[in-house]
Structure 1
Amino acid sequence: MLPLKLKIIPSNKYKQYFLVFIALLSLLLLGVYIVNSNENSYKKTIAKVLSISENNFKSETSDGRYEAMKKQHITAVILNGKYSGKEIKLENIVSYSQINDINLHVNDKVFISLSQNVKGNAKSIKILELKRDKYVFYVAFIFILLIIAISGKTGLRSLVSVVINIVIFSIVIELFLNNFSIAFIFLTAMLLFTVLSLIMVSGLNKKTISAVVSTLLGTTITILIAIAAIKLNNSNGVRFEEMEFLTHPPEKMFYIELLVGTLGAIMDIAISISAAINELYLKNPSIETKSLIKSGLEIGKDIMGTMSNTMLFAYFSGSIPFIILLLRNQTPLYNILNENLSLEILRALTGSIGIVISIPISIFVAVVLLNNKRIGEFIKS
């Protein structure tokens, strides 16, 4: 019988785990306290639901159908502002579909609007929306916990890259509001997103350089193909009028949307291919180029199918309520796809083209860089 070998974890590792645990626990407690007692930091009036009584009824819709409804009679207390501590009565109509309303529960917090009479007393009160910051915090904390638990330091670097990208995006919005060229600021931001995100996650090495070069090449080629196809077709079938509410040319905004959406998918493909080929090369430095390319293509084939479906689901998932609403109003499916979802279809197709193109590009760039000794020496220096 073979003896069992137990892996002994160094004591300094236990200290690191303990410190990480204490830091996460402190973050959780601090976050819970803040999101549950931050009413005074909001300008809008916030009320907490104390009790609810309900009456059920049915209402006829515009198409002759009947929908289940209920009327909530709510007692709440105001938590901030001039009327803080005052109990109020609210009414809330809830439909079965809950398209334009919310189903409230005891202890929910809601934003309300108060209109005052001449004497300065509250005249009418209206529920605006649910206060959701605590739910956002809980989901964000679970995400942080999982990514650190599974990926360790790499996951922590990923979180830092997310924070950096949020800062960059905030700067982009500020520049946009100050009338800078929208094309220039977004192209610059995309370059920063790509370089900083990949370096933060994977470090400065051949794998990262390969992923950055592959991402930029793949995204550029994909966007040029999309623009050429739309221009050669004179924009037939492309419903730019869906974006006419913007104060900027809708066509230019659509190309920027394509750039942002395609970049994320291609970056994912590029780092996956580069990491896989780099690992093969490290395991066997004498591996032939043909074998590397063949292995890369096999990996790429597996990634291609799932990523294309991911692009499709990502773009169409947000349109599901709108599609259901149109179908309920007897709008033909052809009209929905042609008139209301043409831009989503184009985004999904462009992203899928980018995925397919980025696979051979990533393989070629990774193989070339791995066989280039000078680049390795430059990074080490």
Structure 2
Amino acid sequence: MLIATNRKAILRKVLIYIAFIMIAVFLVKNDYALYEKPIGTIIEASTKQTNKNHKEEIEKKYEQNLKVKIRNTKDKGKIIKIKNDFSYSRFQCSEYKKGQDVFLHMTEGSVSKVSITQVKLDYVTVGLIIIFLMFLFALMNTTGILIMLSLVANSIVFVFGLKGFASGKNLMLLTIIMTLLFIICTIVILNGFSRKSIGTVLSSVLTVIIVAIIYAIAYMNSPKPSFEYIPYTIGFEDLETLYHASLVFGILGAVTDVAITINSATCEIINVSKKINLKKLISSIREIAYDIMGTMISVVFFSFICGEIPLYVLKMKNGFSFLEIMRNGEEFEIIRFLVGAIGIVMAIPVSAFVAVLVNLKKYKEIAVGTVKIDEENNRVDNKVDNKKTNQVDNTINHSKEEEK
């Protein structure tokens, strides 16, 4: 009976969540009046290929005739016609479909000169955010609130940092300040003020400093990469410094994650153990490192390298060899991956060392206890051995006396 009641309660909650998501998505999808930019809904779309007579190896190109109904502004309700060109690969162009909401650009406010800038996808974003929050609070309870506070704090730091970058302030100083704030906000909000938090913050900062020094030495003693190959760069920004800053920000998540895991594990081992020596402690940390290091490095690999796979395929289809792709711009992603992997590996010994230092008093107690216990065990063993030896000697002497 109790199980059936629980099932009904869970089913009721699930249905309420689904209904809430559907209502929220519907409201956001139809929030045209909240936008100043013109928005239209595609009510008709016809597509035809424009280069049928060309060879097969040439990419197919298409032309679309679209009918769009304007949903807001003073032209609300008007139906306009728009032409759209796109290629088979959809590279820097898009195919539009009936029912999609799109943002429009009107030249000089004229309805006769209209182009599509992008698809309206705010309802998808809102739906995913709501689903994320529901799962977060359902699984993590009050911890979910702390996770959200951490995300909000980091987002605020990120926004102010971007404004600083855009205004031309000292990029390296901003990078250092943002790095410290990211680490401190994440650790302190999630774990509070404790020895574990102090150890994690120190471990993360020290690891980032060590990795930055290693990268700086390698960078100064090797040919400089061609920063003009970085995608989406327009203007005369300091690309070199911006790239260095992106390297630091790119490794923060992985380094902090490893630092938290190793610090927590080391603190737990030291606090729970009644006796332990350095060799056993290192062995325990190494076993934990085996479990997390491979997966974390794989995550960094998929984040940095595999995100470029569509671009690699497109370039190879257009005659570029894999080596040419790696030489012309993709070395930046490889460097990001290598720096991230070095950060993960370095975070393990650094975090373990810092955790022992932070809990040095407790470690000394259990280490001294180990020595005392070992000495006592040796004394007991010696007493047992001496007793056994005496017993054997007595038995031999007794046998000899009987023979006589």
Return the TM-score normalized by structure 2.
Answer: 0.78
Match of 2:228 in 1: 241
> Among 46, 66, 71, which residue is 1:74 paired with?
66
- Residue deviations 1:277-308 (CA, integer Å, cap 9, x gap): 23334443544443232111111122222222
Q: Is the 8 A contact 2:301 2:337 kept in 1?
A: yes
Aligned to 2:250: 261
CA displacement at 1:199 relative to structure 2: 1.1
Tell me whether 206-215 or 121-130 shows the greater mean CA deviation: 121-130
Gaps of 5+ in 1: 1-5, 8-13, 375-381
Higher share in strand: 1
Structure 2 residue corresponding to 1:38, chosen from 14, 17, 31: 31
* 1:78-117 → structure 2 map (5 Å cutoff): 78-115=70-107
Moved over 6 A (4+): 20-27
Question: In the superposition, relative to structure 1, how do residues 340 and 174 fare at CA in structure 2: closer, same or farther (>3 Å)?
Answer: closer
Go from structure 1 to structure 2 and tell me whether the alpha carbon gap of 1:245 and 1:66 turns closer, same or farther (over 3 Å shift): closer
CA distance in 2 between counterparts of 1:149 and 1:77 reads 41
CA contact 1:269–1:355 (8 Å) conserved in 2: yes
Question: When the two structures are aligned, how many residues end up with a matched partner?
Answer: 355
Task: Give 2:175's aligned amino acid.
Answer: F
Please state how far the C-alpha of 1:154 moved relative to its aligned partner. 2.0
| Distance in 2 of aligned mates of 1:340 and 1:245 | 15
The offset of 1:24, in angstroms, is 7.2
What's the counterpart of residue 298 of structure 1? 287
TM-score, normalised with respect to structure 1:
0.82
Determine the structure 2 residue equivalent to 1:344: 333
Q: How does 1:338-377 map to 2 (within 5 A)?
A: 338-372=327-361
Pairwise CA RMSD: 3.2
Q: For residues 255 and 94 of structure 1, do their structure 2 counterparts lie closer, same or farther at Cα, with a shift above 3 Å needed? A: closer
User: Are residues 190 and 26 of structure 1, via their aligned partners in 2, closer, same or farther at CA, if it must alter by over 3 Å?
Assistant: farther
Task: Pick closer, same or farther for the CA change 1:60–1:136 going to 2, 3 Å.
Answer: farther
- Aligned partner of 2:389 in structure 1 is none
Q: Is the 8 A contact 1:72 1:92 kept in 2?
A: yes
Q: Is the 8 A contact 2:61 2:88 kept in 1?
A: yes
Q: Tell me how far apart the structure 2 counterparts of residues 285 and 198 of structure 1 sit (CA, whole Å).
A: 28
> Does 251-260 or 141-150 show the bigger shift?
141-150
Q: Which amino acid aligns with 2:318?
A: N
Tell me: CA distance 1:82–1:260, structure 2 relative to 1, closer, same or farther (3 Å): same
Read off the aligned partner of 1:82 and give its amino acid letter.
K
Residue 88 to residue 249, structure 1, CA distance change in 2 (3 Å) = closer
Shift in alpha-carbon separation, 1:281–1:188, aligned structure 2, 3 A: same
> Is residue 271–residue 362 contact of structure 2 (8 Å, CA) maintained in 1?
no
Letter in 1 for 2:259: A
Give the letter for the 1:248 counterpart: E
- Alpha-carbon deviation of 1:212? 0.8
Per the alignment, residue 42 of structure 2 pairs with 49
Q: One-letter code of the match for 1:100? A: Q
The answer as to whether partners of 2:64 and 2:83 remain within 8 angstroms in 1 is: yes
Secondary structure at the aligned position of 2:328 is classed as: helix
| Corresponding letter in the other structure for 1:102 | S
Runs of at least 5 residues in structure 2 that lack an aligned partner in the other structure: 4-8, 364-404
Output the amino acid matched with 1:74. L
The more displaced of 192-201 and 33-42 is: 33-42
Distance (Å, rounded) in 2 between the aligned partners of 1:258 and 1:97: 30
Shift of residue 90, structure 1, vs aligned partner: 3.0
Matched, 1:213 2:205: no
Structure 1 equivalent of residue 393 of structure 2: none
Identify which range, 247-256 or 48-57, moves more after superposition.
Answer: 48-57
What is the aligned-residue identity percentage?
28
Distance of 1:372 and 1:27 partners within structure 2: 53
Q: Which has the higher helix share?
A: 2
Q: Which has the larger radius of gyration?
A: 2
Q: Distance in 2 between matches of 1:65 and 1:366?
A: 60
Query: Corresponding residue for 1:181?
Result: 170
Shift, 1:139, TM fit: 1.8
Mapped to 1, the partners of 2:52 and 2:253 lie a distance apart of 45
In the TM superposition, residue 238 of structure 1 has moved relative to its aligned partner by 2.1
